[in-house]
Chains A and B, each alone.
Chain A
Amino acid sequence: MNDTDKPAPLRSRPTFRELTTFGVVSLALLVSLAIAPAKNYFSDWRHYQKAYVKLAGERQSGNLVRNFHGGIRQIWIPKLGVVDRCESCHVNQIGALVGVSVQPFRKHPPVPHDLDRFGCVMCHRGQGAATSVEEAHYATEAWEQPLLPARYLNASCGQCHLGDLPGTPRLNEGRHLLSAMGCLHCHTVTQPDANVLKPTDDPPPLIHIAEKTSREWIYAWIKNPQAYAGSATMPNFQLSDQDAADISAFLIDQSTPSLAVKNIALSSAPAQTQPVDPTAAATLYGSSFCSSCHAVQNAAGNLVGGDFGPELTRVGSKVKVEWLHRWLKDPGQFEPGTRMSHYRFDDKQIDLLSGFLLAKKDEDLLSNVHLSQADAASIARGKKLVTEDGCAACHQINGVAPPQNFAPDLSRVGSRALSQIVFLPGMKHNLPDYITAKIRDPRSFGPALKMPKFNLSDEQTTALTTALLAQTDRAAGLPHELLQPAERRSDYHPGGDAGRLMEDLRCLSCHSINGNGGDMAPDLTREGSAVQRAWLEEFMSNPNTLRPALIRRMPKFNLSRAEIKTVSDYILSAYQAPGFDSQTLDAHQLGPDAAARGKQQFYSKYGCNSCHIADFKNDKGYIGPALAGVGNRLTPVWIYEWLKDPSSLRPGTLMPNPNVKDDEARDLTAFLMTLRAKPNGGKK
């Protein structure tokens, strides 16, 4: 054994170096241990809570200060996947401290939902569980969902409310545009209740297009649809001259003769420029109420008329005269699916109208279009372009099948991860700005992109973005009992002979019946209980207006006696209101005494004359229909039931429920049944 074998002492005196290391490590440990409490102590929410208590104290809200419990406040709703700590800073959501206008202490403005049931992020997005201002409101590296800017807030309502809501005009407009601008022909949008949104626009089939228009017009139109009609919804595909020439060549080439050519013989070869009496033509155009559906630009540049059919400002530069004659004769022969009514015009009227329409010409439109003869190569290239550009997604084209899955599915676009998006240089990295930019100018994201440029105002773009932002992952995962599905349209169609006639007249283009049809004219579901036969027949042969203030009116279809009888019979028997009991009203209850009392109520108690005209000499209100001839028009039991609850008979009617008692309703009915003057003051 020597010294070296001696075991080293278990504890040796630490060197200075070891001591220093130990000290530094301990200090580091202490500091790191202190980080958490310090971060907590200096946290944003603690800062704001202190400020709130101070503010409450300054305003002598002693109770508020005493009852204030600090700490993280959390709303936890497992069913919705909501963990929100927003109220840790936004401590005054219910407005206990009155009159604070600074954030984060401002009271939440009134909304129909309870904060505790829905939380905050359901509507505002952002990161609910975060406890710092930065992480909660803005996009950070680990969190891509910043707060939703206020102008898109309607989008959040759209997660559960899948149909129109009165308080969310922007969302409603956006959803309407999705359907009306044709987005849904290419993109699929499935709502959380599995309802697939459907397009409501009506792109014309192009299978007989050569009959209707020229290759030059097609060329000019596809180059720039808005140059022909400012209100056109067809987007601009930014085609080159060559592309447009080839596509127009193909479209003319694929066109086949329509049934109209076969079935409608023209009496004489119509001349392209036929001088017509402009006054008589304009009168016919007016009395046929073409402008209820078609708009024309007036001298001041304003569009006058409806947007249900195409704009007619330059229609004379578009259509061929033979086609127009056949179209006015019977539109369904050329296009079976058209929404245009079959007017029973005679040849003289057709000459007048077609002369009137063909005079609406813009000589400049086609003056610079000079196309070389279409050859096979050009046609083949046109077909290739038509297929690639997806024209058949909207239009029916011979030899080109509608493309499937042509554009991205947008059902979850409101939750798209920012990391998957290629932003343009200089663009703000957030989803709403990306969607807006994409809608505004799709090709700016790459010239090879197929999406065309739509003609939308800034407000319309914002609305569309709002509707798209409603399509979130969160919405798709919501419990089903929370969803408020959109009102579904039925597929009702009237049947039998009358049904065929009503289809021919396209009644459902304007009127709704049993949940199917348009909203331009009154719902006819219960019309059979409402009107008297004599009036109905007279009205269909010569529709005078009931509401003088309306510009959209029922056109005169020039129906024959037999046709009128068929339709009247059907309306009076099939469209009855359930539960109407004509025994409610005895004849003696509608006597002169009752009528006198009713008159008193009409003018004095209920002020009906503010909206209705009972007497053309004295009354002036014209919001509701004129009632001067109502005794000849409506049935007593309808008037009685209507007065008791108008919106139950015609949902959405403007007439407020006047809340009349039974006997008052009887008196008013008695009075109204005495009004038998011809409408429009025909008989004084």
Chain B
Amino acid sequence: MRRPLLLTFWVLLLAGCARNSAPKLLSPTAYGVQIVEVSGGKQIAAAGSVLPQPVVVQVNGADGNPVTGALVRFRGEGIAFNPSQGLSDSSGQVTTAVQVGFAAGDYQITAETPKQAGGVISINLRQTSLGYEATLGKAVNDKYCIRCHDPESTPERVSNFDNLSPAPHQFSDGATYNLMKDSDLLNIISHGGVALGKSPQMPAFGKTLKPAEIKAVVSYVRAVADPPYQPSGVKYAK
């Protein structure tokens, strides 16, 4: 008589515990030796949002062919994944939707797959989350700057990039922009390329944009720089 009661009690207790335990790992049916990015790296989203495109990674075997059934786990500080783990499909790929964190800035996500012999192999992808200022900068960029500074055309907006000589720098060109001070960028945007002895084809926007908007564009250029922009000055570890 008491046995079933006791059993029920234990089952209920265990069920209660299960809720808070860590998510169970899927068990892989195969292992790979290499994990590569298929798509979804270096995306930009507003703080706290899901990235426009999902992140897709692929697990390859020793022969270089995709491996089906390998476990891939995603992690990243402040990032939510849906799903956070998965087994690779028939083309060796795992897809996840990524929501970046509350704070603006760079986020690193790691995709890892266990090796047969133990340990894991992983790749890191960088994603960028834009705060208010950089979002405003993006709005200004999307209206004005992008027409010359982005070589990609869309049906609504044909790029002028190829018509210009010297060619404009893309805003993601961190190697160029990271060497310039904020004040340099503010000057070029406000007074045109000639202000810093650069091409007169870069017009002056000082009479068109508000100072806050110009500052926002600089903030956007900093946010999308690749390699990432490190402001000069005192640096501390966490």
Contact = CB atoms under 8 A, between A and B. Distances in A.
Q: Is chain B found bound to chain A in the same assembly? A: yes
B21 interface: no
Contact of B236 (A59, A110, A150, A551): A59
A623 B148 contact: yes
Given A100-B236, A607-B199, A623 B160 contact: yes
B133 interface: yes
A110 B144 CA distance: 22
Contacts of B103: 106, 109
A549 interface: yes
B128 to A, nearest CB: 14
A166 B160 contact: no
Interface in A641-684: 645, 647, 654, 656-659
The secondary structure that dominates the B interface is loop
Contacts of A462: 49-50
B236 A607 contact: no
A621 B48 contact: no
Contacts of A110: 131-133, 215, 219
A109 B104 contact: yes
Contact of A551 (B156, B160, B194): B156
A656 B205 contact: yes
Contacts of A647: 208
B144 A654 contact: yes
Contact of A656 (B135, B164, B207, B235): B207
Contact of B208 (A59, A304, A605, A656): A656
A101 B238 contact: yes
A607 B203 contact: yes
Given A98-B233, A110-B132, A607-B202, A659 B207 contact: yes
Interface string B70-114: 000000000000000000000000000001011110000000000
A623 B48 contact: no
Interface string B192-234: 1110000111111111110011011001000000000000011
A549 B158 contact: yes
B236 A99 contact: yes
B52 A459 contact: yes
B16 interface: no
B147 interface: yes
Interface string A146-166: 000111110000000000001
A110 B157 CA distance: 30
B132 A102 contact: no
Given A149-B48, A607-B202, A99 B235 contact: yes
B202 A167 contact: no
A610 B47 CA distance: 35
A656 B148 contact: no
B48 A659 contact: no
A169 interface: yes
Contacts of B193: 607
A138 to B, nearest CB: 14
B163 interface: yes
A109 B163 contact: no
B207 A112 contact: no
Given A458-B50, A656-B203, A166 B136 contact: yes
B163 A620 contact: yes
A151 B49 CA distance: 5
Contacts of A622: 158, 160, 163
Contact of A98 (B143, B155, B156, B234): B234
Contact of A658 (B101, B104, B204): B204
Nearest to B193: A607
B232 to A, nearest CB: 12
Interface in A100-120: 100-102, 106, 109-112
Interface string A399-438: 0000000000000000000000000000000000000000
A656 B144 contact: yes
A659 B195 CA distance: 13
A580 interface: no
Residue of B148, B162, B163 contacting most chain A CB atoms (<10 Å): B163
A167 B139 contact: yes
A654 B157 CA distance: 12
B54 to A, nearest CB: 11
Interface of A: 59, 98-102, 106, 109-112, 149-153, 166-170, 304, 458-459, 462, 549, 551, 604-607, 609-611, 620-623, 645, 647, 654, 656-659
Given A102-B238, A459-B50, A656-B203, 14 more contacts: A98-B236, A99-B234, A101-B238, A111-B133, A150-B46, A150-B48, A150-B101, A167-B139, A606-B200, A607-B201, A610-B148, A611-B160, A620-B162, A623-B148
8 contacts: A59-B236, A100-B236, A106-B103, A167-B139, A168-B135, A549-B160, A621-B160, A656-B205
